[in-house]
Amino acid sequence: LSFMGLIGIGGTKIGDLGNLDDFVALGAPQLSWSFLDFGRNKAKVGQAEAVRDEAEARYRGTVLTALRDAEDSLARFRESRIAVASLARVRDKAALSAQLAQDRYSAGTASKVAAIGARNDLNRAEQD
């Protein structure tokens, strides 16, 4: 349903164009209905629904991909934290071992080779 209208001035002769006393206004509703569309509108609705469903599926796929990426990143981060903590424990144990080897060497109960070996183990642990 739509409304149409026409507003103007003038008359039936060319000389009437300048006459502002002849005011014309017309308004009317217009109703359009395609009763012989043979299912065309129904097909258009079906097509629009299919396009909507496709867009929704693409959106869901994008969201699922983003969630998978986030989950993978969090898992890698967790594994990295575990690895860093493990390396820190190894370094701390190597430092304790090097200190004990140095103390034993200073006390005369261990050789210089043992103290140097423990110090080399500490250096390797710190490089990792």
pLDDT tens for 54-94 read 999 999 999 999 999 999 999 999 999 999 999 999 999 99
Q: What percentage of residues in the chain have a pLDDT greater than 90?
A: 56
- Provide the 8-state DSSP code for 111: -
pTM of the prediction?
0.53
Would you kindly state where each structural domain of the chain is located, as residue ranges? 1-32, 33-127
Distance from C-alpha of 97 to C-alpha of 117, rounded to nearest angstrom: 10
C-alpha distances in angstroms, 89 versus 77, 84, 86, 124, 126?
Answer: 18, 9, 5, 13, 11
